[in-house]
């Protein structure tokens, strides 16, 4: 068995809360979330029972991709505060026992970053080779905005952008660029941060010569030439060395990564990351709803979960998530807005008890849902807008807007609903983006008061997980994988096991008892209904504990 115990092991017992700051809490009354708001809400975050915070980018950025287009890696966006305020938040978080990890976005910068402004001036300045320039484009697609190449007159050349036009890809083959990355890492680690979530990290090494790509997925022609590219492990091991000087961890985002390639990052001699965000379980319905419409399939979701749980057990470590700033809200997606509380609580149990480190995205813990804006002009996410104007053009606009309602990243980016006052308590001023009109029904203040709320259920789950080595380290097994309504899995360690039962059905369903538990009596530890019967009620979830299994 591979060696997995090392000094960074502390992250295995933890759970994290993700902050997408612009919509989290406005502390200075200008309608934009900021670090003053975060400071005020630290006790709330702590009260959830999480152990750390992941900040989506809070650096200066023109916001073409809301922070994922960085124009200065070593500062704070003035909308959000400044370095002093960040330090205050960091110190306070540490004092409260919360770790803090930063988003490290190094596949690309903003086109307004000074490196790019220099680079585009000509072919012979110190920054000329910081980006990927060619005389002629190849056939690659960008994931966000048409072709992957953009012409620049000053150089009479094209630059590569795998994401939006305003996100030119860095040339990681240039050792000076890698040195910059290491400097950035040191800058934040020296300040005291505890690690990084590394954005699209499996894309940073491109195949030599940038050959034409084959069709892979819509909008992803070329991906096979930059996903898990030729020098990726070499480059990551350079970054790893920096991290090894500190007690921190690295979590890589790995779009479209397979279990097999993830193992190369997470284990073995090349082990360069501690955890990865994988995407398989995001494909159970509509990751690409805009152009491939698939109704949600529980069987697919379970298959993806189980594949990763099994493959990594004893070898690597999973990062568990259901929501983040890139995906629609899970109640709208896999649950039911009608059975809001029931499905919101069940969806918590369905992933928080798997093996791995859970991440909870702001608003998920109160069951925020997708927003349905009236017109595409109200959306601000670059990929939603591109998709609307690119796919299914023959359909009527309403149908196309419906696809956006199902899939837009903007649904995860509406202001957090703190209470039922104006602007949902997010800000005294008009918020920068639309508040979901359901804030009077769904908000933190209301759920605080209700012992059975989604919010309090998250607290119970996290507390239970924290108390139990079985739920942290135990092995994972799934039962009845083909059942289209029920997700059932166990976690076992020594003579104890937990059985987690989750109904994804709107109708009552009768669960089967796994062979090994027949004749055994389990203690009901957690349930999202007051009474249990032989049938599972809509979206019911139960957690049983068994001894001497
Ligand atoms: C990651 C981020 C996403 C961003 C993209 C490009 O997938 O999570 O928000 O748009 O990378 O940086
Ligand atoms: Ca503000």
Phi, psi of 238 (to 5 degrees): -65, -45
- CB within 8 A of 421, min separation 6: which ones? none
To the nearest whole number, what is the mean pLDDT of the chain? 95
What pLDDT does 251 receive? 97
Q: Which atom from ligand 1 is nearest to the alpha carbon of 65? A: 10
pLDDT over 70 for what percent of the chain?
A: 96
Phi, psi of 233 (to 5 degrees): -70, -35
Question: Higher confidence at residue 248 or residue 457?
Answer: 457
State the distance from the centre of ligand 2 to the C-alpha of 27, rounded, in angstroms: 5
Element of type H or E holding 104: strand 99-104
Taking residues 389-407, report their average pLDDT: 91
What pLDDT does 545 receive? 98
Residue with tokens 């205050």, as numbered in its chain: 88
Half-sphere exposure of 447 (CA within 13 A, CB side): 28
State the distance from the centre of ligand 1 to the C-alpha of 38, rounded, in angstroms: 22
Question: Higher confidence at residue 294 or residue 86?
Answer: 86
Q: What is the pTM of this model?
A: 0.97
Residue with tokens 């709107």, as numbered in its chain: 506
Choosing from 51, 150, 199, 326, the catalytic residue is 199
State the distance from the centre of ligand 2 to the C-alpha of 81, rounded, in angstroms: 8
Question: Higher confidence at residue 236 or residue 291?
Answer: 236
- CB within 8 A of 326, min separation 6: which ones? 409, 412
Which residue's CA lies nearest to atom 9 of ligand 1?
A: 326
User: What whole-number distance in Å separates Cα of residue 499 and Cα of residue 511?
Assistant: 12
Residue (of 144, 249, 119) closest to 189 by Cα position: 249
Q: How far is CA 312 from CA 211, 284, 529, in A?
A: 33, 20, 33
- Residue-wise pLDDT for 30-62, tens only, equals 999 999 999 999 999 999 999 999 999 999 999
Among 103, 167, 326, which residue has the most ligand 1 atoms within 8 Å of its CB, making it the best to mutate? Answer: 326
Judged against a pLDDT cut of 90, whether residue 333 lies above it is answered with: yes
Judged against a pLDDT cut of 50, whether residue 3 lies above it is answered with: no
Q: Please work out whether the CB of residue 326 comes within 6 Å of at least one atom of ligand 1.
A: yes
Going by pLDDT thresholds of 50, 70 and 90, the confidence category of residue 8 is low
Judged against a pLDDT cut of 50, whether residue 440 lies above it is answered with: yes
Which residue's CA lies nearest to atom 2 of ligand 1?
A: 199
Among 55, 163, 384, which residue has the most ligand 1 atoms within 8 Å of its CB, making it the best to mutate? Answer: 163
Judged against a pLDDT cut of 80, whether residue 294 lies above it is answered with: no
Catalytic residue flag (residue 199): yes
Among 191-200, 210-219, 259-268, 321-330, name the one with the lowest average pLDDT. 210-219
Both structure tokens of 163: 């994401």
User: How many other CB atoms sit within 10 Å of the CB of residue 150?
Assistant: 20
Going by pLDDT thresholds of 50, 70 and 90, the confidence category of residue 2 is very low
Q: Please work out whether the CB of residue 105 comes within 6 Å of at least one atom of ligand 1.
A: yes
């Amino acid at each position: 068995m591979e060696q997995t115990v090392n000094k960074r092991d502390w992250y295995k017992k933890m759970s994290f809360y993700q902050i997408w700051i612009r919509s989290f809490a406005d502390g200075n009354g200008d309608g934009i979330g900021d670090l003053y708001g975060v400071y005020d809400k630290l006790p709330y975050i702590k009260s959830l029972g999480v152990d750390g915070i992941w900040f989506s980018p809070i650096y200066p950025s023109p916001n073409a991709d809301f922070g994922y287009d960085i124009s200065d890696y070593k500062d704070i966006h003035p909308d959000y505060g400044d370095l002093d305020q960040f330090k205050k938040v960091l110190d306070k978080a540490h004092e409260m026992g919360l770790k803090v990890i930063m988003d490290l976005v190094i596949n690309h910068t903003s086109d307004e970053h000074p490196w790019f402004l220099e680079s585009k001036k000509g072919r012979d300045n110190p920054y000329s080779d910081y980006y990927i320039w060619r005389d002629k484009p190849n056939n690659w697609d960008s994931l966000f905005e048409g072709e992957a190449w953009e012409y620049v007159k000053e150089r009479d050349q094209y630059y590569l952008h795998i994401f939006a036009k305003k996100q030119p890809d860095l040339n990681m083959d240039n050792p000076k660029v890698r040195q910059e990355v290491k400097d950035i890492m040191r800058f934040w680690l020296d300040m005291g941060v505890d690690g990084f979530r590394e954005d699209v990290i499996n894309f940073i090494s491109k195949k030599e010569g940038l050959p034409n790509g084959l069709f892979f997925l819509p909008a992803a022609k070329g991906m096979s030439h930059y996903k898990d590219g030729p020098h990726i492990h070499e480059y990551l091991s350079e970054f790893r060395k920096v991290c090894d000087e500190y007690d921190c961890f690295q979590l890589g985002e790995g779009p479209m990564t397979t279990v097999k390639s993830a193992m190369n990052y997470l284990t073995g001699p090349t082990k360069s990351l501690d955890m990865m965000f994988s995407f398989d379980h995001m494909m159970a319905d509509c990751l690409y709803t805009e152009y491939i419409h698939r109704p949600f399939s529980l069987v697919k979701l379970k298959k993806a979960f189980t594949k990763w749980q099994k493959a990594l057990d004893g070898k690597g470590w999973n990062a568990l998530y259901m929501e983040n700033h890139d995906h629609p809200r899970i109640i709208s997606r896999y649950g039911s807005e009608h059975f809001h509380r029931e499905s919101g609580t069940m969806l918590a149990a369905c992933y928080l008890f798997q093996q791995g480190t859970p991440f909870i995205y702001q608003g998920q813990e109160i069951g925020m849902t997708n927003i349905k804006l009236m017109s595409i002009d109200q959306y601000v996410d670059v990929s939603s807008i591109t998709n609307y104007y690119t796919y299914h053009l023959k359909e009527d606009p309403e149908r196309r807007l419906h696809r956006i309602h199902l899939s837009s990243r903007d649904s995860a980016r509406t202001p957090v609903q703190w209470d039922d006052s104006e602007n949902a308590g997010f800000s005294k001023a008009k918020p920068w983006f639309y508040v979901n009109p359901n804030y009077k029904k769904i908000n933190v203040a209301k759920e605080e008061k209700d012992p059975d709320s989604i919010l309090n259920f998250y607290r119970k789950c996290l507390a239970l997980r924290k108390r139990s080595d079985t739920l942290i380290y135990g092995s994972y097994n799934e039962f009845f994988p083909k059942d289209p309504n029920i997700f059932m899995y166990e976690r076992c360690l020594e003579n104890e096991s937990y059985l987690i039962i989750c109904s994804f059905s709107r109708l009552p369903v009768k669960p089967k008892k796994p062979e090994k538990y027949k004749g055994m009596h389990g203690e009901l530890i957690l349930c999202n209904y007051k009474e249990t019967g032989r049938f599972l009620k809509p979206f019911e979830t139960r957690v049983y504990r068994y001894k001497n299994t």
